[in-house]
Amino acid sequence: MDLDGKVCVVTGAASGIGEEIARQFGARGATVAMIDVRAETAGQVAEQITEKGPGSAAEFSCDLRSVQEIEAALAAITARFGRLDVVVNVAGLANRTPVEDITEAEWDLLNDVNLKAPFFVAQQAYRVMLTQKSGKIINIASHRAHTTDGNHLIYAATKAGLQAVTRDLAVAGGRHGIEVNTVSPGYVLTPMTEHNLRNE
């Protein structure tokens, strides 16, 4: 996969799946815009990607709970690089709170990060891609959108919602050359899931 000259945006790029996607894009020649609230960590990863080449990376600090910060980050990326070719919405939070103990604050937090943020990131990218008449948006959902263990209610709801958002974006964008898809991983060894993978 040759991404030479492509501008690729990755959210949640400071660690886990987002970090690995950013590294793989850089290794294939892309210019990677790394969005993460952990600016220092993302900046360190961006430096490593650039040093290794052949692509390059830059960090853009953003609290994805804020639509205003999302708009500012995507505007800065577009102004700096001139286009958006690929956007991957990776950033997310999980919960294992028993149903009877879920609070409004936890509900709002996971919905803000896992569902609202990917839509508004995609919306900003979509507007740019409409003018280009091309682009790809990839939303990272989860197997929890399809399966349940009774312990991930909010997470599962947000990931199922993200699949619905993706379907609508795909139909709306397809006629304009914009492809929108989800990927639904199972367990991947990341800081967020390692406690599960140690449980025999």
List residues with catalytic annotation: 155
Q: Classify 124 as helix, strand or coil.
A: helix
Residue with tokens 């449980």: 199
Kind and range of the H or E run holding 46: helix 39-52
Name residues whose C-beta falls within 8 Å of residue 121's C-beta, 6 or more positions apart in sequence.
9, 11, 35, 64, 70, 74, 87, 89
Strand partners, 183: 140
CA dist., res. 125 & res. 70, Å (int): 10
Q: Closest Cα partner for 124 from 12, 20, 35?
A: 35
